A and B are shown apart, each in its own frame.
Chain A
Amino acid sequence: MADSVEVDQLVVQRGGRVVLDAISCGVAAGKVTGLLGPSGSGKTTLMRAIVGVQRVVSGRVSVLGMPAGSAALRRRVGYVTQSPSVYLDLTVRENARYFASLYGTGRRAADQAVADVGLADAAGQLVSTLSGGQLARASLACALLAHPDLLVLDEPTVGQDPVLRQDLWQQFHELADAGTTLLVSSHVMDEANRCDQLLLLREGRLLADETPQELHRLTDTDNLESAFLRLILSRPDGSPTDTGPGERAAAPRSGPAAAASRPGTGTDLGGGA
């Protein structure tokens, strides 16, 4: 299927530092794509660029066939920030209903989304009295109720109990089955196995763009943590300054042309492992 999001040679600087260094990648439509990488690898910045709130230096990001941040996309893209962005001095229901009114989806969609994230019992509760996990789910509900075509979720499962995490991932897949494209970031490697496709990010560069299975096969390990490590070690340019940014960026696909061929044949895993 075609990509919902296409990122081409994206460069972002924040505070004078290069945070994304000529990244090119795609997010497949109707799939759950995991954006994985350690803290500070640029996950949030990439997500911000995709939802169109990040000022970029160069490169192109297109979402659902339009430039990221286009006014027409605001109805079709849902974004949940890493720190829950809901109104602490409103109840869960009031928050959901307000966001529903912005998207024009109505009260029923709001109440349904609150129930979907397991907060039906806490709907009348002020958000400031919720636990961290509940807070994150309240924030998630305010994006789900928009029924977006693309849902960008920045670490939505942090701090959730294992049963709930399972539920949330199941919901993500149900949404994807219904045609929604999901981009979900995480720094927890064990969540990678739950994704259809993986984007591995480190220090502002794309390490890999594979399915979890391909990644296991290529790195010859079942453990994603060590897969990640092997990918890093296998890169010929361990030191970040000895080649130009164009060559270094995104080993599997270094440019728009490479973006057409998905298999990660460019990753020279044999060398270092």
Chain B
Amino acid sequence: MSLWITFTTTGRVLSQIRHDRRTIGLILFVPGLLIALLRYVFDSEPLVFDRVGTMMLGIFPFTSMFLVTSIAMLRERTSGTLERLLTTPLHKLDLLLGYGIAFAVLAALQAVTASAVAYYLLDLDTKGSPGVVMGIAVSSAVLGSSIGLLTSAFATSEFQAVQFMPVVVMPQVLLCGLFWPREEMIGWLQAASDVLPMTYSVDALLEVIAYPDPTARMWQDVAIIVAATVVALVLGAATLRRRTP
């Protein structure tokens, strides 16, 4: 492993995106627009917006970074650049971390714009601070990226990669507590929810909604998010084979 190679890989991925203005626009502004939409959906229920809007600040970056990363990695696999990279001194983890950091940077920008829109234009209100919400949103995005890197290994085309979104992301959205409190779900659904990583992003955000200071439970959730990210990256590295049939 080499820090230098990891960082130049991050730089390379960011340069690729820098040349793609439309993607930058979509990444930065779509979540803010959707949150604004949500604000008017719950126009008569500001308390519901506070709750749902905050949870969405964690769910959007997870979803968009999952998609962007899995397609970016799939391109790397199908264009032959991955095979080429694996004949160079680059370590597999250099590549995955390089991607992870690049998308974390994008996710941070996305979280900042979406949170700024939510807090300052739409009067979103949480007991905890917006800074903590942004931090959790970024960790959620990095988690989404690393799961995207892993799932791209199972797709052989962009058609398939896009189809993995409903398979991998939607169940997590349904079971994370956004639509219905997890405690009120039937037992086996709770168990399923317990093993899905997005649950912990949303749970951490629920803590910020309810308490002014970071709670122990919130930190535990964040620790689980980080652990799940590492597991996904390591599994992702295992799917990168230098020798292929």
Contacting A at CB under 8 A, from B196-245, are 242-245
The reply on B81 being an interface residue by CB < 8 A is: yes
The reply on B160 being an interface residue by CB < 8 A is: no
Contacting B at CB under 8 A, from A64-107, are 69, 74-75, 77, 79, 81, 83-90, 94, 98-99, 101-104
The reply on B12 being an interface residue by CB < 8 A is: yes
**Is the beta-carbon distance between B243 and A53 smaller than 8 angstroms?**
yes
Measured CB to CB, the closest approach of chain B to A85, in angstroms, equals 3
**Is the beta-carbon distance between B20 and A102 smaller than 8 angstroms?**
no
The reply on B41 being an interface residue by CB < 8 A is: no
**Is the beta-carbon distance between A90 and B19 smaller than 8 angstroms?**
yes
Which residues of chain B are near A99, meaning CB under 8 Å? 88
The reply on B36 being an interface residue by CB < 8 A is: no
The reply on A126 being an interface residue by CB < 8 A is: yes
Query: Which interface residue of A79, A86, A88, A89 has the most chain B CB atoms within 10 A?
Result: A89
**Is the beta-carbon distance between B4 and A101 smaller than 8 angstroms?**
yes
Contacting B at CB under 8 A, from A121-153, are 126, 142, 146
The reply on A34 being an interface residue by CB < 8 A is: no
Query: Which interface residue of A53, A75, A83 has the most chain B CB atoms within 10 A?
Result: A53
Measured CB to CB, the closest approach of chain B to A92, in angstroms, equals 13
**Is the beta-carbon distance between B87 and A52 smaller than 8 angstroms?**
yes
Which residues of chain A are near B19, meaning CB under 8 Å? 89-90, 126
Which residues of chain A are near B11, meaning CB under 8 Å? 98
- Contact partner of A102 (CB less than 8 A), chosen from B15, B79, B80, B85, is B85
Q: CA of A265 to CA of B230 in the docked complex: distance in angstroms? A: 59
**Is the beta-carbon distance between B87 and A79 smaller than 8 angstroms?**
yes
Measured CB to CB, the closest approach of chain A to B26, in angstroms, equals 15
**Is the beta-carbon distance between A54 and B243 smaller than 8 angstroms?**
yes
**Is the beta-carbon distance between B12 and A87 smaller than 8 angstroms?**
yes
The reply on B166 being an interface residue by CB < 8 A is: no
Contact with A along B85-120 (1 / 0, CB 8 A): 111111000000000000000000000000000000
Beyond A53-B244, A54-B244, A75-B89, whether A98 also contacts B84 by CB under 8 A is no
Which residues of chain B are near A22, meaning CB under 8 Å? none
Beyond A53-B86, A103-B89, whether A69 also contacts B242 by CB under 8 A is yes
Q: CA of A13 to CA of B4 in the docked complex: distance in angstroms? A: 37
The reply on A51 being an interface residue by CB < 8 A is: yes
**Is the beta-carbon distance between B88 and A52 smaller than 8 angstroms?**
no
**Is the beta-carbon distance between B79 and A14 smaller than 8 angstroms?**
no
The reply on A217 being an interface residue by CB < 8 A is: no
Q: CA of A126 to CA of B18 in the docked complex: distance in angstroms? A: 12
The reply on B5 being an interface residue by CB < 8 A is: yes
Contacting A at CB under 8 A, from B157-176, are none
Measured CB to CB, the closest approach of chain A to B93, in angstroms, equals 14
Q: CA of A237 to CA of B243 in the docked complex: distance in angstroms? A: 33
Which residues of chain A are near B83, meaning CB under 8 Å? 53, 81, 85
Q: CA of A55 to CA of B80 in the docked complex: distance in angstroms? A: 16
Which residues of chain A are near B244, meaning CB under 8 Å? 53-55
Beyond A90-B15, A98-B8, whether A53 also contacts B81 by CB under 8 A is no
Beyond A53-B242, A94-B15, whether A74 also contacts B87 by CB under 8 A is yes
Measured CB to CB, the closest approach of chain B to A182, in angstroms, equals 16
Q: CA of A81 to CA of B86 in the docked complex: distance in angstroms? A: 12
Beyond A83-B80, A98-B8, A98-B12, whether A69 also contacts B89 by CB under 8 A is no
- Contact partner of B87 (CB less than 8 A), chosen from A51, A55, A83, A84, is A51
Contact with A along B52-93 (1 / 0, CB 8 A): 000000000000000000000000000111011111111000
**Is the beta-carbon distance between B88 and A103 smaller than 8 angstroms?**
yes
Residue of B nearest to A101 (CB): B8
**Is the beta-carbon distance between A81 and B84 smaller than 8 angstroms?**
yes
The reply on B16 being an interface residue by CB < 8 A is: yes
**Is the beta-carbon distance between A74 and B88 smaller than 8 angstroms?**
yes
Which residues of chain A are near B85, meaning CB under 8 Å? 102
- Contact partner of B80 (CB less than 8 A), chosen from A85, A89, A146, is A85
**Is the beta-carbon distance between B8 and A74 smaller than 8 angstroms?**
no
**Is the beta-carbon distance between A69 and B243 smaller than 8 angstroms?**
yes
Measured CB to CB, the closest approach of chain B to A41, in angstroms, equals 19
Q: CA of A90 to CA of B193 in the docked complex: distance in angstroms? A: 41
Q: CA of A55 to CA of B15 in the docked complex: distance in angstroms? A: 33
Complex A-B: 8 CB contacts under 8 Å: A52-B243, A53-B86, A53-B243, A54-B243, A85-B80, A89-B20, A98-B8, A102-B88
